Amino acid sequence: MSHKKSWLPSLVTVLILAGLVLGACGGGDEQPAASSDESSGASAGDLSCPAPNPKVEVTSTELNLFVWTEYIPQWTIDCFEEVYGVDVNHSEYSSNEEMFAKLSAGGANYDIVQPTDYIVAPMIRQNLLQELDKSKLPVISNLDPNYMDLPFDPGNKYTLPYQAGTDAIVYNSDVVTDPPKSFADLWKTDYAGRLISLDDSRAIIGITLLTLGYPVNSTDRAQLEEAKTKLAELVKGIKVFDSDSPKTALIAGDVDLGITWTAEAVLAQRENPAIQYIYPTEGPILWQDNYAIPAGAPHADAAYAWLNYTLQPDVFWKMLEEFPYTNPNSGALEFAKTNHPDLYKAYMDSNISNTPADVLTTGHRIEDVGDALPLYDQVWTEVKGQ
């Protein structure tokens, strides 16, 4: 996940004035795996399932999700199945490139995907997404306008905001006595063999470019070649690449520091308060993940029902608890403020999920690099394969 900042000034204003928070991952005839049925019933603890508001007409009997790993509460899936009588098949991916490749290969039968901002434009060019029918999406009124109508999808013709956040530095203060202050510090020999990194080509190459003083979205071949050489040095010291659950190695003590996403740091910190998240002097990577409906989705009616139900405030508030990225759903935040004040306060008080305004102004948003994308793929393949 990753991103840039032409929309940040207005966002900062809203953050200051309204106290709202900024939030952040099948081809052929393959069928998505059915969602887990380990939960008893369709509730989490004593939570009953909210009624759809409004309830839309659905004739489909199943819905195929292709989404980031560890990104949707099981309670949400169970409740959707309960209130609509639709079976949810749940497949996951660990990178935008994986998702893009599978849809590009053709024959996919997915109804919902979660592209990060920079991959949306290439998907539109490849005709992989269908335009949204806004008349079928009353839930839009709950979404913060500062996450709408962004450069990667003007007018939100194809996407709705899901979550947002940052890529920055995480470390365990119990064992890292000289914590890094910048991305460049991660190249220190003292950290070699102790690092975790997101398995995210655009973000990690972009970070390397920043340490060299180059734009995070450089298309200059010479700059990318220089970044490849420098990144190869870092890769030698990375113990774990993980975009599924980078918090796991941190909590277990298998790694001591590295690069991770917003909520992974929050969740790790809940388990071990010594785990800290800092914004590098170069500025963090900023990103926004989105919901979209693939072209040719076989169960589009169920897809619209999913978007409306799972984004309604009395459902989407659960993200603050289980996946505390920056939440672009104003309605969900207000619901949490009234009905779950302790959770809301913890979320708002966190400088991880509630990214400080001054940090936002220094951030970098990964963007579509067009014809230069193969250069990034080549850099990543070569440094990972060394």
* Domains observed in the chain: 8-164+287-354 (3.40.190.10), 167-285+363-384 (3.40.190.10)
Q: Mind giving me the DSSP string for 254-308?
A: S--EEEEEHHHHHHHHHH-TTEEEE--TT--EEEEEEEE-BTT-TTHHHHHHHHH
Q: Which residues of 121-143 are buried (b: 16+ CB within 10 A; e: fewer)?
A: bbbbeeebbbebeeeebebbebb
Average pLDDT over the chain reads 89
Q: How far apart are CA 76 and CA 73, in angstroms?
A: 5
What is the tens place of the pLDDT at every residue in 305-326?
999 999 999 999 999 999 999 9
What's the pLDDT at 7? 33
Q: Looking at the predicted structure, is the pLDDT value of residue 34 above 80?
A: no
Lowest mean pLDDT among 45-59, 92-106, 161-175, 221-235: 45-59
What does the pLDDT average to over 294-306? 98
What's the pLDDT at 386? 77
What's the pLDDT at 385? 86
What does the pLDDT average to over 134-161? 97
Assign 58 a pLDDT band (cuts: 50, 70, 90).
very high
What's the pLDDT at 24? 40
Q: Is the dihedral of CA 231, 277, 274, 93 positive or negative?
A: negative
Q: Please give, one letter per residue, the 3-state secondary structure of 335-381.
A: HHHHHCHHHHHHHHHCCCCCCCHHHHCCCEECCCCHHHHHHHHHHHH
What is the tens place of the pLDDT at every residue in 248-273?
999 999 999 999 999 999 999 999 99
Q: How far apart are CA 95 and CA 115, in angstroms?
A: 9
Q: How far apart are CA 344 and CA 331, in angstroms?
A: 13
What's the pLDDT at 46? 57
What's the pLDDT at 164? 97
Prior bond to 298 cis, omega within 30?
no
- Written as six digits, the tokens of 349 are 């008080």
What does the pLDDT average to over 89-105? 95
- Taking a C-beta distance cutoff of 8 angstroms, is the pair 112, 303 a contact? yes
Residue 156 vs residues 87, 104, 159: alpha-carbon distances, Å: 28, 22, 5
Lowest mean pLDDT among 72-76, 104-108, 207-211, 212-216: 104-108
What is the tens place of the pLDDT at every residue in 127-140?
999 999 999 999 99
